[in-house]
Amino acid sequence: MYFQLFFAIDRIKAMAPEHPEWKTTEPYASILKGDVNAALAGGEHAILELVMASHAGMTTEEFTAIVKDWLATATHPKTGMAFTDMTYQPMKELLAHLREHGYKTFIVSGGGIEFMRPWTEAVYGIPPEQVVGSSIKTSYAVREDGTPVLERLAELNFIDDKAGKPVGIHEHIGRRPTMAFGNSDGDFQMLEWTTAGDGPRFGMLVHHTDSVREWAYDRESHIGRLDRGLDEAEARGWVVADMARDWASVYGD
């Protein structure tokens, strides 16, 4: 599962006492029973419903505090590691190498922009203003005590995936990247648009082939599917990094 989905599930469990109706309403009922597979049988609609319920109805500052508190204690059920420690060592080395040579680095992810911004600088060296992601709508309000706040609404604003990624890059960054790196067909259009630019360009896909140190998935995966990218990478001049073969370390040991 995407790490943000772990967060959404934990939030649903924490919020359940305030929502007794969830005991008999899907996908919440299955989450509360511990049956994640049943909850996610509803596909993207179920995931979106979980995210909306767990991410909205609060200010942006309140949400940031909730994310930070969760990351301080949450661990992955398989590895027992903190989620912020399960970041790829080769990726962090590459980011540092690029910055040492004058490049500005960005995260462009299908994950929630407000979920990522509180921790990307500490983990990846990428500040909040250089994070592009999916978002829900936000509105400005002034509370009764005169405090101005930004409130998170249960309405979808932007999906930063597939064809949305070049759009998100244009709207947030305003420049076509020189290099782009991805690991699924959700990154295809980002690599396509990046490498179609003038001058030297570079595109790379990470192929998740390591079932021992991480996970092995590609063409048939319901999450992180990599199919078209594998078929077209060579013809497009994109490098495919094989995790099992090419990475001496995954999480930095």
Q: What is the pLDDT of residue 1?
A: 87
Cβ atoms of 182 and 227 closer than 8 Å:
no
Write down the pTM of the prediction: 0.94
Q: What is the pLDDT of residue 42?
A: 85
Q: Is a pLDDT exceeding 90 seen at residue 44?
A: no
Same domain, 22 and 143: no
Q: What is the pLDDT of residue 231?
A: 98
Q: Which residues contact 113 (CB under 8 A, 6 or more apart)?
A: 131, 132, 133, 134, 135, 160
Going from the C-alpha of 63 to that of each of 118, 133, 150, 154, 160, the distances in angstroms are 10, 16, 11, 13, 20
Distance CA 145, CA 231 (A): 58
Note the pLDDT tens digit of each residue in 117-133: 999 999 999 999 999 99
Note the pLDDT tens digit of each residue in 51-72: 999 999 999 999 999 999 999 9
Same domain, 47 and 140: no
Q: What is the pLDDT of residue 251?
A: 97
Q: What is the pLDDT of residue 49?
A: 93
Q: What is the pLDDT of residue 8?
A: 97
- Picking from 55, 84, 100, the residue at the C-terminal end of a domain is 55
Query: Is the residue at 234 inside a domain?
Result: yes
Average pLDDT over residues 20-30: 96
Query: Is the residue at 253 inside a domain?
Result: no
Query: Is the residue at 51 inside a domain?
Result: yes
Percent share of the chain, pLDDT over 90: 94
Q: Can you give the length of the chain in residues? A: 253
State the total domains in the chain: 2
Same domain, 148 and 173: yes
Task: Give the domain extent around 168.
Answer: 58-246
* Rounded (5°) CA angle 236-204-99: 130
Same domain, 225 and 186: yes
Distance CA 171, CA 169 (A): 6
Q: Which residues contact 178 (CB under 8 A, 6 or more apart)?
A: 103, 194, 197, 199, 200, 201, 202
Q: Is a pLDDT exceeding 90 seen at residue 197?
A: yes
Question: Torsion angle of alpha carbons 5, 64, 12, 80, nearest 10°?
Answer: 50
CA 126 to mean position of chain CA atoms: 14
Note the pLDDT tens digit of each residue in 82-109: 999 999 999 999 999 999 999 999 999 9
Q: Is a pLDDT exceeding 80 seen at residue 48?
A: yes
Q: Is a pLDDT exceeding 80 seen at residue 77?
A: yes
Q: Is a pLDDT exceeding 80 seen at residue 253?
A: no
Q: What is the pLDDT of residue 223?
A: 82
Same domain, 30 and 71: no
